[in-house]
């Protein structure tokens, strides 16, 4: 069957090889997709540890956040780079010490324009997760 030149046997072998390589490509893509982490990063302003049910809050019900916490990682130790909110959030989002942070105060950049944005190209937790 493999001795035929250019006949049905050779085409059949070629088709089988293509199918094998296609299957390997698809399986390889699935394997790569499975390696990517499944991360939900929640950064809430003015949310204290005791405000969520997963940390013991009884009055305020947070069932969806509690379920996510039970299935994922909960952090019980925290550090704030500064007592001012915008620089503190910048430190959390970039991992930079306040001495290296581009945002050092709650300054407005113009009336109705909001606070000073991060400079273009600043590496953040979100950009690192997206790149991984």
Listed range (36-45, 58-67, 87-96) with the worst mean pLDDT? 36-45
103-131 pLDDT per residue, tens: 888 887 777 777 778 888 899 988 888 88
Q: What are the residue ranges spanned by the domains of the chain?
A: 8-35, 38-78, 80-132
- pLDDT tens sequence across 15-36: 555 556 555 565 555 555 557 7
Determine the average pLDDT of the residues in 7-11. Answer: 51
Q: Match 């956040």 to its residue by tokens.
A: 65
- The predicted pLDDT at position 1 comes to 45
Average pLDDT, the chain: 76
Average pLDDT of the segment spanning 66-76: 88
Q: Which residues are CB-neighbours of 44 under 8 A, at least 6 positions away?
A: none
Distances (CA, A) of 36 to 28, 93, 132: 13, 20, 7
Q: Which residue has the tokens 């989002």?
A: 93
């Amino acid at each position: 069957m493999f001795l035929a030149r250019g006949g049905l046997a050779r085409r059949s072998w070629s088709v089988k090889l293509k199918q094998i390589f296609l299957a390997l490509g698809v399986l390889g893509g699935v394997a790569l997709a499975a390696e990517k982490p499944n991360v939900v990063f929640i950064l809430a302003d003015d949310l204290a540890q005791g405000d969520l049910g997963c940390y013991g809050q009884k009055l305020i019900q947070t069932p969806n956040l509690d379920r996510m916490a039970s299935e994922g990682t909960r952090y019980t130790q925290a550090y704030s780079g500064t007592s001012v909110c915008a620089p503190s959030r910048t430190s959390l989002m970039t991992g930079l010490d306040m001495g290296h942070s581009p945002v050092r105060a709650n300054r407005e950049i113009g009336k109705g324009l909001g606070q000073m944005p991060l400079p273009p190209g600043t590496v953040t937790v979100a950009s690192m997760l997206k790149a991984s």
